Amino acid sequence: MTELTLADRAAALRALHRPGDPLILPNAWDAGSARSVATAGFPAVATSSGAVAEALGHADGEATPVGEMFDAVTRIAAAVAVPVTADLERGYGLRPAELVERLLATGAVGCNIEDSDPRTGELVDVEEQVDLLAGIRAAARGADLVLNARVDVFLRAAGPPEERLAEAVRRARRYLAAGADCVYPIMLADPAAIRALVTEVDAPVNVLARPGAPGLAELAGLGVARISFGSGLYAAARARTVEMLAAIRSGDEAFGEGAR
């Protein structure tokens, strides 16, 4: 069987973004978790910057040395046969050409880019973000890359609550025009607002699955094209580990036997 090229993988990843029949991405943090996602039958693997950072001993917010982050993505992409998309925060200060070159060298064919400063939490100017996204799209020509533009209006609680949806739509439209394939209004959870944004941008929309957000079936019904779990699986795995360790430490022999 002929091995797929990066362009083939990017095309496959892009085709999985179907409004109403969303791509579901339980985010991975290392090669082992990526294999588990692929083995479970999911057609693509996404990384979580927060989960990868913590697994490597760093904090989220671009505190991970850029080489370590790309090395982690390389290991993840090498571990699975499905397309991989990487959460690259706001690009670690790299110029678009270097960012794309280093990303494609990992074997990944997609990335998330956020529109707030990971260090300060402030939204960046729309024009500045448009320039970054357009630069990434231009640098990827000939190689292809699925670009997911994160919209942090709701995450950062930017501006009056009644104006946030309109601002998110404004930013999303600009990012799509700059070359993004999908927009990600992270932390948006209100069903009516999700439906309105999906309708207004008329392009693939990514929603974060989390407590308080609509379930997978409802999100599909709202026209969402991509559903991410962020660092949720990593947090659940860590919580389960803590639970197991406490039981083992307390002398629960049955639990200890089951953990071997």
CA-nearest of 228, 126, 243 to 184 is 228
Q: Domain spanning 6-229: which CATH class is it, in words?
A: alpha beta
Question: Which tens digits make up the pLDDT trace of 220-243?
Answer: 999 999 999 999 999 999 999 999
For residue 257, the model assigns a pLDDT of 56
Q: Where are the domains of the chain?
A: 6-229, 232-260
**Cα 208 from Cα 18, distance rounded (Å):** 16
For residue 86, the model assigns a pLDDT of 98
Amino acid residing at 195: R
**Cα 92 from Cα 69, distance rounded (Å):** 10
**Cα 227 from Cα 1, distance rounded (Å):** 31
For residue 1, the model assigns a pLDDT of 32
Which parts of the chain sit beneath pLDDT 70? 1-2, 253-260
- 163 within 8 A of 206, measured Cβ to Cβ: no
For residue 142, the model assigns a pLDDT of 72
Amino acid residing at 250: S
- 208 within 8 A of 230, measured Cβ to Cβ: yes
